[in-house]
């Protein structure tokens, strides 16, 4: 009897924690979307799973090393994505992914022409709707850390389009086992306005 009550209490706390995390993400997302400077679409693949994501970005006003050849700046990224696993082992579960990520971007201090390179590095937080992606890949928790590295080109007369290739890794950083993580190889297209 005691174990049954404890299990019910644990389940109730899990629901409360999930709702609180969802609300925090929701409030931050709404604030970021209203102040967005860019919108992006991403598509990728990794570990028998296709992914797609829509993100809103808000550029930081602060930049560093502005008197050098390369400038360090960044932006906040708020994303809503969907994972579609198709593993042969079965038990595939579609996953909704909410993410909030501070992104560091290194770019030339001067634009020459209509094409300019950049590189990015980021570590953020994600909430996934189902931690069991497919049979044999259980991420253990809804809460995940997401980091990525990427490189791309800023295009256009106003440098308002980005095309980027990036590698993203999501895992719970060992907070709970198992922790298989998942890697996505992604293509991202952004429009800054």
Q: Tell me which of 33-37, 118-122, 131-135, 144-148 is least confident.
A: 33-37
Taking only the tens place, the pLDDT of each residue in 51-103 is 999 999 999 999 999 999 999 999 999 999 999 999 888 889 999 999 999 99
Residue 27 pLDDT greater than 70, yes or no: no
The rounded distance, in Å, linking the Cα atoms of 40 and 98 is 14
The rounded distance, in Å, linking the Cα atoms of 57 and 71 is 18
Mean of per-residue pLDDT scores for the chain: 88
Tokens coding 76: 């906040």
Above pLDDT 90, what percent of the chain?
75
pLDDT of residue 112: 85
Domain 2-192, CATH: 2.40.160.20
Q: Work out the pLDDT band at 36, boundaries 50, 70, 90.
A: confident
pLDDT of residue 29: 58
pLDDT of residue 124: 96
pLDDT of residue 88: 85
> What is the torsional sign of CA 30, 34, 40, 41?
positive
Q: Report the pLDDT averaged over residues 34-54.
A: 92
pLDDT of residue 3: 44
- Domain layout of the chain by residue ranges: 2-192
């Amino acid at each position: 009897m005691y174990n049954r009550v404890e299990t019910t209490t644990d389940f109730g706390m899990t629901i409360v924690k999930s709702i609180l995390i969802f609300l925090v993400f929701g409030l931050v997302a709404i604030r970021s979307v209203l102040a967005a400077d860019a919108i992006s679409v991403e598509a990728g693949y990794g570990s028998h799973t296709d992914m797609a994501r829509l993100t809103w970005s808000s550029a930081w006003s602060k930049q560093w090393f502005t008197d050098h050849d390369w400038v360090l700046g960044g932006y906040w990224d708020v994303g809503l994505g969907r994972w579609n696993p198709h593993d042969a082992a079965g038990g595939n579960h579609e996953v909704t992914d909410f993410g909030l990520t501070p992104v560091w971007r290194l770019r030339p201090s001067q634009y020459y022409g209509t094409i300019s390179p950049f590189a990015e590095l980021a570590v953020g937080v994600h909430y996934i709707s189902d931690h069991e992606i497919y049979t044999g890949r259980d991420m253990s928790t809804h809460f995940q850390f997401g980091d990525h590295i990427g490189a791309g080109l800023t295009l256009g007369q106003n440098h308002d389009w980005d095309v980027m290739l990036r590698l993203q890794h999501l895992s719970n950083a060992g907070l709970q086992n198992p922790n298989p993580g998942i890697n996505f190889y992604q293509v991202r297209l952004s429009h800054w306005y």
